[in-house]
Amino acid sequence: MGNSQAAVSTSGFGTGHGDSKNRHGNADHVAVSMEIRDSGEVGFGGDGWGDCGVAGDGKLRRQVFLRLVFTKIGDIDTVRECFDASVYLEAQWREPSLDFGVANDRNAGGASSAAASDVAPSESNAATCHWHPDLYIDNSIGDLMHRRDRELSRNSSGEAFVLERHSLRGRFFERMELWHFPFDTQDITVTVCSNLPEAAVELQEMPDKPSRVFTSTFTDEQEWSLHTHVEASKTSVISDSQIGPRQRPAVQFSTRATRRATFYVVNIWFVSFILCMLALCVFGIDRQNLQGRLQLSFILLLTTVTFKFVIANHIPRVSYLTMLDKAVMHNLLFLVLLSIWHSVASLFPATHSLQANEKYAIIVFAGVYVLGICVILLQIVFGALKRKKLMDEKDLQYQMSTRNQISPFDEAENGESP
């Protein structure tokens, strides 16, 4: 982030002839904002904040409250296991050293409280060179477009709070769980981590401002259905350091997207099902014409194998069978068993009862095939669809729990960041 450009603006405690209450030290709000634009790997520390040598002092375990908004989610790439997104991140923490009384004594040196408004510029210098959680995105891929803004504020008691805002855009890694493909529901996760050890900082979700996701800006809705809830979970990340591996605190912000399975069901599964039904028509060929029966069976078998290769191009190389893999393998096994039947039946003379009762073989093969489909459908209902129903319930619970909370979008309408 060596090419960062910063512009610092400060607002004093009182302006003009006005409020003597503010001029005598009961300031309600002091804002110190710094805007930084970066293009490079996102390690939010540095650019003046990390040069003070106090970010990792370890004297006090700080609590940092986080909130993340998925402002735009783009393409979800199943094969490469990643997704494109623009996110907005807020981090807020207490800064006791910048409380009104402490900052006034430090900067004014016992000066009269009537001159408190002159302290603001020096406070801005202190705010831009003070403790910070040194945040970064753990699952980012490549360079992220990064825009940062910082603000120092005080409540009515003079307690100082630092609010750090980040606008990020780029690509993020996401491990795809494809057991239920193409009826799967995938996590869309951004992991916010700190470079400081767990003994120095504790990351938590903001209790009063909920994380959000913009569903209206989702660009891949032809293939996916985006859920509306966002879950935050505390975790830890093990990373290397000069003294060896260290556990660092992290918070995972996750929303979910359910794949629209119509394309795969109609163009792959249903077509493969039709081919298997056509395989039963091979019984209409004379029983002694083994060449004709096997020729048609092998054509249908090779066509089904082609569908298997089509599926492989739509998912990563996983070591387990997806739901669509099971369906296609079920069809392949059915066609192989039919081919074996035709070969074995031709070995018996035409008058043998095995060939005379071939109509029962058709019923048995059809029954076994339908039974296999029923087993797959039960796995879909009690696996994939059950998970989707759970996500829908979380959407409803999230909407009810955030109904009375302050919306970040209401703040945006009032001139603040979302």
Cα 339 vs. chain centroid, distance in angstroms? 46
Q: What is the mean pLDDT of residues 323-350?
A: 87
Domain ranges, residue 298: 262-393
Q: Which helix (H) or strand (E) holds 37?
A: strand 32-40
Strand partners, 213: 70
Whether 87 maps to a domain, the answer reads yes
Q: Which helix (H) or strand (E) holds 90?
A: strand 82-94
Whether 407 maps to a domain, the answer reads no
Q: What is the mean pLDDT of residues 109-132?
A: 47
pLDDT of residue 110: 42
Whether 398 maps to a domain, the answer reads no
pLDDT reading at 40 higher than 60: no
pLDDT reading at 5 higher than 50: no
Same domain flag for 98 and 189:
yes
pLDDT reading at 118 higher than 50: no
Q: Which of 7-16, 41-50, 99-108 has the lowest mean pLDDT?
A: 7-16
Same domain flag for 234 and 119:
yes
Of the two residues 97 and 33, the one the predictor is more confident about is 97
How does strand 135-137 pair with strand 185-194?
antiparallel
Same domain flag for 20 and 48:
yes
Q: For 393-407, write each residue's pLDDT tens digit.
A: 999 999 998 886 655
Q: For 214-254, write each residue's pLDDT tens digit.
A: 999 999 999 999 999 999 999 998 876 655 567 899 999 99
Confidence class of residue 59 from pLDDT cuts 50, 70 and 90? low
pLDDT of residue 212: 94
Same domain flag for 68 and 125:
yes
Same domain flag for 134 and 246:
yes
Q: Which helix (H) or strand (E) holds 379?
A: helix 358-379
Q: Which span out of 20-24, 52-56, 299-303 was modeled with the highest average pLDDT?
A: 299-303
Q: Determine the length of the chain.
A: 418
pLDDT of residue 358: 80
pLDDT reading at 91 higher than 90: yes
pLDDT of residue 104: 53
pLDDT of residue 144: 93
Whether 134 maps to a domain, the answer reads yes
| C-beta atoms surrounding 123 within 10 Å | 22
Whether 219 maps to a domain, the answer reads yes
| pLDDT over 70, % of the chain | 72
Q: What is the mean pLDDT of residues 168-177?
A: 96
Whether 418 maps to a domain, the answer reads no
pLDDT reading at 361 higher than 50: yes
Confidence class of residue 188 from pLDDT cuts 50, 70 and 90? very high
Q: What is the mean pLDDT of residues 86-107?
A: 79
pLDDT reading at 156 higher than 60: yes
Of the two residues 59 and 254, the one the predictor is more confident about is 254
Same domain flag for 310 and 329:
yes
**Cα angle value 67/70/252 (rounded, 5°):** 55
pLDDT of residue 130: 76
Q: For 67-85, write each residue's pLDDT tens digit.
A: 999 999 999 999 999 999 9
pLDDT reading at 260 higher than 60: yes
Query: How high does pLDDT run on average in the chain?
Result: 78
Whether 314 maps to a domain, the answer reads yes
User: Residue 204 is part of a domain; what is its CATH number?
Assistant: 2.70.170.10
User: Residue 323 is part of a domain; what is its CATH number?
Assistant: 1.20.58.390
Q: What is the mean pLDDT of residues 7-16?
A: 34
Q: Which helix (H) or strand (E) holds 306?
A: helix 290-312
Q: What is the mean pLDDT of residues 4-26?
A: 36
Same domain flag for 255 and 266:
no
Q: What is the mean pLDDT of residues 20-46?
A: 38
Same domain flag for 239 and 350:
no
Q: What is the mean pLDDT of residues 91-95?
A: 93
**Residue whose C-alpha is closest to residue 173's, from 67, 42, 70, 85:** 85
If one counts the domains in the chain, the total is 2
Whether 57 maps to a domain, the answer reads yes
Core vs surface per residue 225-256: b (16+ CB within 10 A) or e: bbbbbbebeeeebeeeeeeeebebbbbbbbbb
